[in-house]
């Protein structure tokens, strides 16, 4: 299969838009000439509109060789991609696709009997559905348990599908979990990570996949590693971080940053501490976080000179691996991995 190169935009056609829930649609996309699009289950792609708006979405089905891809998209009021989809019928339109990206992909379980837990909230179910379908079709026999959380039953738009899948595969179990009050609900209440932690006191040999809201992913990571003995290298996750800061941070201290753009022009920014450097640059249209800040595309690479470089935390494992893969110099960093704080005061940033 031809692999479409990372960061090369590739034309796809939007073939169908199918409602899955009140605010979730399934997009069926196809490569323009039916050429295969190769990806690993659990990965995501980046869709670029002609307006330049670019958003990440995870593949919701196992990879096939017919160039077809399915995505689940939650429609957000006021969201730029959501409103583009909602505004008029887009079927037949061309979209630029970048990717695939992400390393929330299948990891060989520690042993044939080791448990594999999957935690999803909302459309975070999409990459886990692809992973589960692939694992079951490959004949994986490990116990696979899916916890899917939503506010109401309607949010769990594939509930019947997963119950049926559990009925036909003895090693797969499905646990729906609701956060909202619903009088006739017989199932579990609370957060998915708490439900999983309650069921599994020791995850020493387990692998956990978590996809969906950033709050759930971080809570699950902390809880399961610190209290359930989960090996941190066996926690695989994709947090569906928004491409733009969700709300202005009014109370935060502001940090002054100067940006030297590629055309030589300089702009001065006053950035609230706490957001990522990528979010700051996105707000002045200087960088597009192609992979949504997942340290997967390298598109947000910037030069951080001294003394600021030595003041900030060094690159983590994922960032260091990507920087090495794209032949970076020692002063290069990924803006998506750097949190703005007082150590960046006065930074002169070179794009
Ligand atoms: C790795 C990854 C995988 C993802 N996979 C999926 C997936 O499979 N399915 C899925 O549904 N999503 C997924 N996402 C999230 C997705 O990429 C988008 O963030 C999401 O669809 C919203 O995009 P949008 O353009 O509709 O909204 P945006 O334009 O990004 O707006 C998001 C929200 O912020 C509000 N807003 C807009 N502008 C501002 C502003 N200036 N200030 C404050 N608030 C504002 C909007 O009203 C809206 O509610 C993924 C994200 C990542 C990083
Ligand atoms: S946005 Fe993709 S690596 Fe930073």
The C-alpha atoms of residue 284 and residue 281 are separated, in whole angstroms, by 5
Query: pLDDT at position 297, please?
Result: 86
Give residue 57's pLDDT. 95
5 pLDDT tier (thresholds 50, 70, 90): very low
Least confident of 91-100, 135-144, 283-292: 283-292
* DSSP conformation class of 159: H
Q: Hey, whose CA ends up nearest to atom 2 of ligand 1?
A: 240
Q: Which of 282, 289, 300 is nearest to 351 (CA)?
A: 300
Q: 98 in ligand 2 pocket by Cβ < 6 Å?
A: no
Mean pLDDT computed over every residue of the chain: 90
Ligand in nearest proximity to the CA of 82: 1
Cα–Cα distance, 58 to 131 (Å, whole number) = 11
Establish whether residue 315 lines the binding site of ligand 2, counting it when its CB lies within 6 angstroms of any ligand atom: no
For ligand 2, mutation pick of 55, 334, 339 (most atoms within 8 Å of CB): 334
Beta carbons within 8 Å of 37's beta carbon, 6+ residues apart: 4, 10, 12, 31, 63, 67, 68, 69, 97, 100
Asked if residue 41 has pLDDT above 50, the reply is yes
- Give, to the nearest 10 degrees, the angle between helix 192-199 and helix 214-227: 20
pLDDT digits (tens, 9 = 90+) for 224-240: 999 999 999 999 998 88
80/84 Cα distance (integer angstroms): 6
The yes-or-no verdict on residue 245 having pLDDT over 60 is no
Give the atom of ligand 2 at the shortest distance from the alpha carbon of 295. Answer: 3
Helix (H) or strand (E) holding 309: helix 308-311
Q: Whose CA is nearest to atom 3 of ligand 2?
A: 295
- Domains defined along the chain, listed by start: 9-101 (2.40.30.10), 116-239 (3.40.50.80), 254-350 (3.10.20.30)
pLDDT in tens, 141-194: 999 999 999 999 999 999 999 999 999 999 999 999 999 888 899 999 999 999
Q: Is 243 in the pocket of ligand 2 (CB under 6 A)?
A: no
Ligand 1 centroid to Cα of residue 136, in Å, is 31
Handedness of CA 144, 150, 153, 154 (dihedral sign): negative
Residues 294-328 have pLDDT tens digits of 788 888 999 999 899 988 889 988 899 889 888 88
Confidence check: pLDDT of 134 > 50 = yes
Nearest CA to ligand 1 atom 9: 73
Pocket probe for ligand 2: among 45, 289, 318, the residue whose CB has the most ligand atoms within 8 Å is 289
Helix (H, G, I), strand (E, B) or coil at 285: coil
- Residues near ligand 1 (Cβ within 6 A): 44, 55-58, 71-74, 76-82, 123, 126, 238, 240-244, 246-247, 292, 294
């Amino acid at each position: 299969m031809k692999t479409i190169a990372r960061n090369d935009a590739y034309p796809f056609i939007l073939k169908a838009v199918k409602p899955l829930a009140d605010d979730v649609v399934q997009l069926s996309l196809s490569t323009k000439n039916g050429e295969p699009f190769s990806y690993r289950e659990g990965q995501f792609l980046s869709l670029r509109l002609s307006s330049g708006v670019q958003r990440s979405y995870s593949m919701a089905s196992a990879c096939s060789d017919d160039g077809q891809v399915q995505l689940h998209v939650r429609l957000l009021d006021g969201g730029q991609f959501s409103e583009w989809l909602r505004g008029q019928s887009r079927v037949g339109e061309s979209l630029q696709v970048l990717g695939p990206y992400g390393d929330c992909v299948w990891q060989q379980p520690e042993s044939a009997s080791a448990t594999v837990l999957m935690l999803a909230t909302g459309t975070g179910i999409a990459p886990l559905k692809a992973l589960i379908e692939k694992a079951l079709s490959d004949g994986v026999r490990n116990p696979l348990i899916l916890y899917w959380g939503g506010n109401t039953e309607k949010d769990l738009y594939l509930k019947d599908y997963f119950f049926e899948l559990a009925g036909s595969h003895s090693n797969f179990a499905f646990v729906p979990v609701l956060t909202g009050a619903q009088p006739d609900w017989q199932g579990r209440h609370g957060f998915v990570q708490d439900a999983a932690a309650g069921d599994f006191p020791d995850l020493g040999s387990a692998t956990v996949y978590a996809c969906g809201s950033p709050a759930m992913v971080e809570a699950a990571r902390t809880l399961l590693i610190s209290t359930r003995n989960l090996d941190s290298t066996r926690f695989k996750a994709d947090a569906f971080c928004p491409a733009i800061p969700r709300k202005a941070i009014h109370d935060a201290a502001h940090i002054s940053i100067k940006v030297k753009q590629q055309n030589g022009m300089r702009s001065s920014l006053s950035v609230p501490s706490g957001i990522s450097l990528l979010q700051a640059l996105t707000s002045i249209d200087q960088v597009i976080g192609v992979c949504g800040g997942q340290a997967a595309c390298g598109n947000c690479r910037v030069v951080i000179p001294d003394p600021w470089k030595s003041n900030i935390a060094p690159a983590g494992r994922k960032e260091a691996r990507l920087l090495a893969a794209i032949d970076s110099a020692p002063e290069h960093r990924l803006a998506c991995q750097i949190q703005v704080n007082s150590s960046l005061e006065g930074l002169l940033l070179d794009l």
